[in-house]
Every structure is written in structure tokens, then in C-alpha cells.
């Protein structure tokens, strides 16, 4: 997640700087052909160009709205996880421990809270596994660029790849070794929570009503996990995602063909003035497309992601303090270079 108030020039250059090269090259090529060979037949009227530009703008706007909906839904899911985690731990900590063996019950409660923290980091780690339509899975040049961006993020946040360490800290040795057995380890951890809650009820540590409340929270966590997995595993329809960029490329190809004749009315120097205007207009469309394109994958491992690591750390600190652990708390995750993950 970008935390700076404004998109600075480094972030803009990182996102769309390379597109300036081919935009400038194409605009210069058209202007040079028109200037040196006077091929007036290659120009097109402004009316069809305007119609194409308007249609493309509407299409890109629609795509951007859909991408923002996916991004905001992902953020709401993790916001709900924050609230339910606090509620679950508060209820668990508040239930009377005198109904059973004091130390045994305290240890079991602590184990349940620890396992929930491990579930948070496990879910985050599973959501960051790249899918074939995400940017890090692209082929050739663009894939390598995004993989480089991903490596820079990992280098700036040492805890980014430390999920196994967090799992080792909060899970028993037997549970930690079960990861290879389960394809969806986060689901297993919630099911294990349900078994421990049933154990508390069977031994009359909690009442039926208290058990129902705690199990409702676990069901909510199942729902949140499923909602996040739906966003991760079902892409924005590719007929929308890919068509937008194709339409923009067509518009940019036509753009200098429509503007060069208009600028030529200013004189010979006006033909060359057409170049920066074509680049600026085309670049604006490119940026609109890229913002929507990257926002549609909120778990892609890039700077546009939901800050899951920061959210997990916030929940971790809150839950540890709720159960009375105030020493050796982990540090909150802060933004670095205008990015929070």
C-alpha cells in the first residue's frame, strides 16, 4: 500500500516510466514521416479520434471502478479479521478459569490465541502465492520487472518472508510439522481451534452459550478466508482486463496521426510540437490503465497490495496484550519509502 499523500515522481517512473520510450518513439516517427515526406494521406480527422478516445476513457474508467471494488473488498475482509480477532480473544480471556484446572486452562487458552496468530500469518502467506494472471507471473520483460519490484519490497521489510518463524513461535512442534500434509494449512488451523473449543465445553470450562459465541467467531474466520481466497483465485474477467490495454494501444497509435496535421497549421515547428502533446495524452491513458490493472490484484506481492503484514502484526500485538503478555512484544510494521505491506 502506498502511504504517501501524493504519487511521487519515483513511484510514477517505477510504474509507467518505460512506456515513455515507445510513446516518444512512435510520436517522433509519425512527425518525422509527415515532416520529411509530407505524407498527408496518413493523417486522420479529429472526429473519429475523439470518438475512439472517449470510448476508451469510458472503458478504462469502468475497469478502474471494478479494480477498486476488488481492492476495497479485500481491505474490508482484513478489517473484519481485525475486529473478529479482538472479539474472539477478549471473550476467550474473559471466561472464568476457575471452572477447571487453573494452569491447564490458562495454557489451553494461550495455545488457542497463539494458534490464531499463526493462522493470520499462514493465511497471508497463502494469499501471496502468485497466480498465472498476476504481474509476477508475466513472461519476459514485464514479469522480470515486477519480480524485481517484489524483491525490493522483500529487502525493505525483513519480516516479509518470515512466516515459518512466526509459525514456529506460535504452534506446537507437532502442528508445525503438519504443514506438508495439508494443502490448505490455514483451514486446518481453524478446524483445530474448533476441536479445542469443544474440549473446553466438554469439560465444563465454558457454557454452551459461550461455546456458541466462540465457534461463531471461528465460522466468521472461515468466511473471511473464503472471501479472500475468492478474490485471489478468481481474476477480474480477462475480457475486460486485456481489452482495455488493447484499446489504449490502438488509440495511442491513432493519436499522432490525428494531431500532426492540426499542429502543422502552426508551421513547420508545429509538427515537432505535436510530439510532447501526443506523449502526454498517451501517457495519461497508460497510467489510468496501469493503476486499474495493478489494483485488481490486492494480494499480488507488490506495492499496491493490501498491507497484510502490517495488519497481522497489529492483531498479533493486540492479542498478546489481551492475554496479559506485555514483554518482548514485536514492533509494529511501519512504512518504508512510502510503501506499507
Q: Indicate the SS3 state at residue 61.
A: helix
| pLDDT at residue 188, rounded to an integer | 94
The answer to whether position 28 is within a domain reads no
| pLDDT at residue 137, rounded to an integer | 75
| pLDDT at residue 277, rounded to an integer | 92
Determine the angle formed by the axes of helices 46-94 and 308-322, rounding to 10 degrees. Answer: 20
Q: Which of 156, 185, 124 is nearest to 311 (CA)?
A: 124
The phi, psi pair for 2, rounded to 5°, reads: -80, 125
| pLDDT at residue 97, rounded to an integer | 55
Long-range pairs for 320-327: beta carbons < 8 A, 24 or more residues apart: 320/113, 320/117, 322/86, 322/89, 322/90, 322/93, 322/113, 323/89, 323/93, 323/109, 323/110, 323/113, 324/93
Cell of 73: 473488498
The phi, psi pair for 18, rounded to 5°, reads: -65, -25
Cell of 210: 459461550
| pLDDT at residue 12, rounded to an integer | 76
| pLDDT at residue 98, rounded to an integer | 56
Query: How many domains does the chain fold into?
Result: 1
The answer to whether position 10 is within a domain reads no
Contacts of 287 (CB under 8 A, 6+ apart): 12, 15, 16
Cell of 20: 515513455
The answer to whether position 203 is within a domain reads yes
User: Which domain range does residue 109 map to?
Assistant: 43-236+296-322
| pLDDT at residue 146, rounded to an integer | 76
**145 vs 135: CA distance, rounded Å:** 9
The answer to whether position 302 is within a domain reads yes
Cell of 107: 495454557
**286 vs 116: CA distance, rounded Å:** 42
Q: Indicate the SS3 state at residue 324.
A: coil
**30 vs 19: CA distance, rounded Å:** 17
| pLDDT at residue 313, rounded to an integer | 95
The answer to whether position 34 is within a domain reads no
The phi, psi pair for 336, rounded to 5°, reads: -135, 125
Residue 136 and residue 338 in contact, taking contact as beta carbons nearer than 8 Å: no
Q: Indicate the SS3 state at residue 38.
A: coil
- For 118-157, the pLDDT digits (tens) are 999 999 999 998 888 887 777 776 677 777 777 777 777 8
The answer to whether position 119 is within a domain reads yes
| pLDDT at residue 18, rounded to an integer | 83
The answer to whether position 208 is within a domain reads yes
Q: Which of 300, 295, 231, 289 is nearest to 68 (CA)?
A: 295
Q: Which residues of the chain have pLDDT under 70?
A: 8, 96-103, 141-142
Contacts of 277 (CB under 8 A, 6+ apart): 259, 263
| pLDDT at residue 232, rounded to an integer | 92
Residue 163 and residue 122 in contact, taking contact as beta carbons nearer than 8 Å: yes
The answer to whether position 332 is within a domain reads no
Cell of 41: 494521406
The phi, psi pair for 152, rounded to 5°, reads: -65, -40
Amino acid at each position: 500500500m502506498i502511504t504517501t499523500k501524493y504519487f511521487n515522481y519515483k513511484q510514477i517512473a517505477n510504474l509507467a516510466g518505460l512506456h515513455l520510450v515507445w510513446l516518444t518513439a512512435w510520436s517522433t516517427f509519425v512527425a518525422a514521416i509527415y515532416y520529411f515526406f509530407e505524407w498527408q494521406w496518413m493523417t486522420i480527422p479529429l472526429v473519429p479520434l475523439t470518438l475512439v478516445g472517449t470510448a476508451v476513457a469510458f472503458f478504462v474508467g469502468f475497469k478502474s471502478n471494478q479494480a477498486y471494488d476488488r481492492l476495497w473488498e479485500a481491505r474490508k475482509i482484513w478489517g473484519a479479521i481485525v475486529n473478529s480477532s479482538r472479539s474472539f480473544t477478549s471473550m476467550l480471556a474473559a471466561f472464568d478459569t476457575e471452572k477447571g484446572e487453573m494452569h491447564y486452562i490458562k495454557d489451553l487458552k494461550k495455545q488457542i490465541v497463539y494458534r490464531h496468530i499463526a493462522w493470520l500469518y499462514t493465511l497471508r502467506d497463502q494469499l501471496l502465492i502468485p497466480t498465472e494472471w498476476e504481474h509476477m507471473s508475466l513472461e519476459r520483460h514485464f514479469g522480470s520487472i515486477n519480480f524485481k519490484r517484489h524483491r525490493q519490497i522483500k529487502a525493505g521489510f525483513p519480516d516479509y518472508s518470515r512466516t515459518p518463524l512466526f509459525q514456529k513461535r506460535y504452534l506446537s512442534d507437532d502442528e508445525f510439522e503438519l504443514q506438508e500434509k495439508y494443502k490448505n494449512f490455514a483451514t486446518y488451523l481453524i478446524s483445530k481451534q474448533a476441536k479445542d473449543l469443544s474440549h473446553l465445553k466438554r469439560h465444563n470450562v465454558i457454557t454452551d452459550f459461550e461455546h456458541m459465541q466462540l465457534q461463531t467467531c471461528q465460522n466468521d474466520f472461515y468466511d473471511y478466508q473464503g472471501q479472500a481466497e475468492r478474490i485471489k483465485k478468481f481474476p477480474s474477467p480477462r475480457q475486460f482486463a486485456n481489452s482495455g490495454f488493447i484499446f489504449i494501444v490502438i488509440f495511442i497509435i491513432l493519436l499522432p496521426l490525428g494531431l500532426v496535421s492540426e499542429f502543422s497549421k502552426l508551421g513547420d515547428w508545429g509538427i515537432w510540437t505535436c510530439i510532447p502533446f501526443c506523449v502526454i495524452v498517451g501517457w495519461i491513458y497508460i497510467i489510468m490503465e496501469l493503476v486499474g490493472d495493478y489494483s485488481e490484484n490486492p494480494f499480488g506481492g507488490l506495492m499496491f497490495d493490501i498491507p497484510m503484514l502490517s495488519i497481522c502484526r497489529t492483531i498479533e500485538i493486540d492479542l498478546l496484550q489481551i492475554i496479559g503478555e506485555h514483554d518482548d512484544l514485536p514492533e509494529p510494521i511501519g512504512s518504508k519509502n512510502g510503501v506499507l505491506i
